[in-house]
Structure 1
Amino acid sequence: MAGQRQFDEKQTLHRALEVFWTKGYGATSMQDIATATGVLRGSLYNAYRDKETLFLCVFEGYRDDFLSEAAEMLAHLDVDRALGDLFDFTITSMTEGIPPRGCLTTKTATDTKAEGPRIETALRGLLDALEKLVRERLSKEDARLRLTVSPAEAARVLVTMTRGNVVMESVYHDAERLRATARSLVRALLPAGAPVAE
């Protein structure tokens, strides 16, 4: 039927995600996607128009899955455990694969061929949503009374650290080093028994 996609879109987007994540946006061609998915390049163009639109469809699913899992990590009743679980999740995600695949968001943000308002809006959307999740968790009394800065400031610092970890991983290839640094930051922001001054 006209307008109906003649391929499994969910499976196609999943395989396209793997290619974008491994190679990066700029180094990925529509032929790479066609080869990985088994969908003819012409069919991909008919369905998505161009590589940027296809990437944004892929990124939307990635964002939803990432934020859902991040929210699950942050739901722990103990705030130290919640933040530790969040960093474990992000570090594990970026260090999987041979070679490690890194972080799709950060890889795209630093890709000079991934410029454009639509991609920038998508990246900001994920990071802003992650920051909101962290801020909401840190606004609960058990965290708020211990924070050395406001929940909003702490959330921004912590999310920035998740991005910085990607760069450090690419240099040191040491997941435990990343976890130790994250623990140090959490201790600095949430010292035990040190309520923030009014």
Structure 2
Amino acid sequence: MKSGKKQGRPRAFDAKAVIGRAREVFWDRGFSAASLDNLSVATKLNRPSLYGAFGDKEDLYLDTLEGYREDSLDILFEALNPALPLRENLACVYAEALKIYLHGETAARGCFLIGTATAEAIQHDRVREVLRRSLNEFDDAIKERVELAIERGELPAETNAATLAKLASAVMHSLAVRARAGDTRETLEAIARSGVDFICGRL
């Protein structure tokens, strides 16, 4: 939450649940197309209550991005369990990503961050900052696991861990975009397998 938001009596609602419902609206409609009426209906809060608790629409959207970033990092760190070989780690990362990307009531929605924040980053500096920070954090998490793989001999000693981590992230971003574009699960899983093979030196 932003420090400048209004303070008052204790809330009679679950802020995390409200942010989660708002995320669904932004994910389906995008930031620009999501109206305050849409958000009010989804969150079951009237406009004054939304503004008083979360600020304006951009503030609320930023809260949904931050929540998604945190949730995604939790999933990523779990998938990158160092007790497993890197190949299994990456396969797990992409499998978990596809669970998210292929979810949607009417159609696959891809990644919330990639699908919505990239469209708003040019016009909204704060959105661009969250997007940049999120991508860097994902890269750093994978880079740390790649460095361990190099130490263990899973990858050649001359491997550039930072570059390989960005490549692994790029596969994930491609899956997100293609899922949103309507590619089948079979196609996406094949891309993921090829990505793992390429990164782990099997192609």
1:188/1:148 Cα in 2 relative to 1: closer, same or farther (>3 Å)?
A: farther
- 2:120/2:128 contact within 8 Å kept: no
Question: Which residue matches 1:101?
Answer: 109
Mapped pair 1:91 → 2:98: yes
Mapped pair 1:159 → 2:166: no
> Unaligned 5+ residue runs, structure 1?
none
**Cα RMSD over matched residues?**
2.3
Deviation at residue 5 of structure 1 after TM alignment: 3.1
Mapped pair 1:129 → 2:137: yes
* Identical columns (%): 31
**Secondary structure of 1:111's aligned partner:** helix
**Secondary structure of 2:98's aligned partner:** helix
1:113/1:129 Cα in 2 relative to 1: closer, same or farther (>3 Å)?
A: closer
Distance in 2 between residues matched to 1:88 and 1:158, nearest whole Å: 13
Instruction: Could you list the structure 1 runs, at least 4 aligned residues long, displaced by more than 4 angstroms after superposition.
Output: none
Question: Which residue matches 1:62?
Answer: 68
Distance in 2 between residues matched to 1:162 and 1:147, nearest whole Å: 25
Distance in 2 between residues matched to 1:190 and 1:94, nearest whole Å: 24
Give TM-score scaled by structure 1 length.
0.87
**Secondary structure of 1:154's aligned partner:** helix
- 1:24/1:104 contact within 8 Å kept: no
1:25/1:177 Cα in 2 relative to 1: closer, same or farther (>3 Å)?
A: same
- 2:168/2:199 contact within 8 Å kept: no
**Secondary structure of 1:166's aligned partner:** helix
**Secondary structure of 2:42's aligned partner:** helix
Deviation at residue 112 of structure 1 after TM alignment: 4.7
Question: 182-191 or 81-90: which moved more?
Answer: 182-191
1:143/1:123 Cα in 2 relative to 1: closer, same or farther (>3 Å)?
A: farther
Give TM-score scaled by structure 2 length.
0.85
- 2:120/2:127 contact within 8 Å kept: no
Distance in 1 between residues matched to 2:127 and 2:157, nearest whole Å: 34
**Secondary structure of 2:52's aligned partner:** helix
Distance in 2 between residues matched to 1:63 and 1:18, nearest whole Å: 15
Distance in 2 between residues matched to 1:112 and 1:61, nearest whole Å: 17
Task: Count matched residues.
Answer: 193
